[in-house]
Amino acid sequence: MVLVAGSANLDFVVRAPHLPAPGETVLGGDFQTFAGGKGANQAVACARAGGATTHMLLALGDDPYAAPIEASLRSAGVAMHIVRPSDAATGTAFICVADGGENAITVAPGANTCLSAADLPPLLGFSHLLMQLEIPLTAVMAYATAARAAGVRVVLNAAPACTLPPELLALVDLLVVNEGELHSLVGRAASVKECLERLPCPGAVVTLGARGCVARLGQDFFVQPGYPIDPVDSTGAGDTFCGTLVAALAQQMPLPKALRQASAAAALACTQMGAQSSIPSASAVADFLQHAPKAEGALSEAALRQYAGLT
């Protein structure tokens, strides 16, 4: 079983020709609301990946914004452990999606800031704890400490980027970051390889957008090229990667195969609008992998190894 402890938001999404520059007003197009939040997105991705029973610890307000979030998690088969503070609203996110698929996001965390050490459910039966950084860092630290004591593997998606105490990194079994977050943690080394080597965690994965991802496990490195797709909305793609990856690892899948599953799911998520609404099912990922075109050019394994400094 996997426990996801993290954020849950209602996303307010508007499409626009391009992301606005500072001080610029852009006339947008379609507007929709979607269930989101990094934690909830990753829980849905983990559950939809199949093979791993998924629970989530989350905080919601006592307001109408909570209902679609609960409905989305329930529909995906996620068992919920809900903290409902009386004086905080459900978290919200305001997202602008450009026609090319890029996005800009502003989050009002609301109830997410109310999670505390006392809210963690019993960890008996869980193999992995997956967390992000949209809840208080004190809670993340307390949950990681409890998981380590219980023999539960800790996976941390260090997003949004912030300075992390060495005490927390020492408790993490697998760290997942994008390239910007990686540089934020270790500074700009000569290569992605050197950055990964500087992390104190036993394992780390860096996602590199369309290029794919690179992982280090101990002294060994693995690369997974990205899958070419026509992006519609990249919102939630990183969360889809994280949730699918942990679901695969919870089934004791070897890391290279888990990276392949996660990369395919993330690619598919970019072809649909919304966060949780775009997360593919296990059967959709399997079909995609069966018919996926071979990576070429900038997406090839050789090009990815060169970019990462592995050659």
The sheet with strand 103-108 has its strands ordered as 31-36, 9-16, 91-98, 103-108
CB-CB neighbours of 57 under 10 Å = 24
DSSP secondary structure, 125-175, as one string: T-SEEEE-SSS-HHHHHHHHHHHHHHTPEEEEE--S-----HHHHTT-SEE
Q: Could you say which of 11, 173, 233, 239 is catalytic?
A: 239
Distance (Å, whole) CA 102 – CA 81: 32
What DSSP state is assigned to residue 298?
G
Distance (Å, whole) CA 243 – CA 43: 6
Q: Tokens for 90?
A: 């459900």
DSSP secondary structure, 64-133, as one string: TTHHHHHHHHHHHT-EEEEE--TT-PPEEEEEEEETTS-EEEEEE-GGGGG--GGGPPP-TT-SEEEE-S
Dihedrals φ, ψ of 215, to 5°? -130, 150
Known active-site residue 11: no
The residues that are catalytic are 239
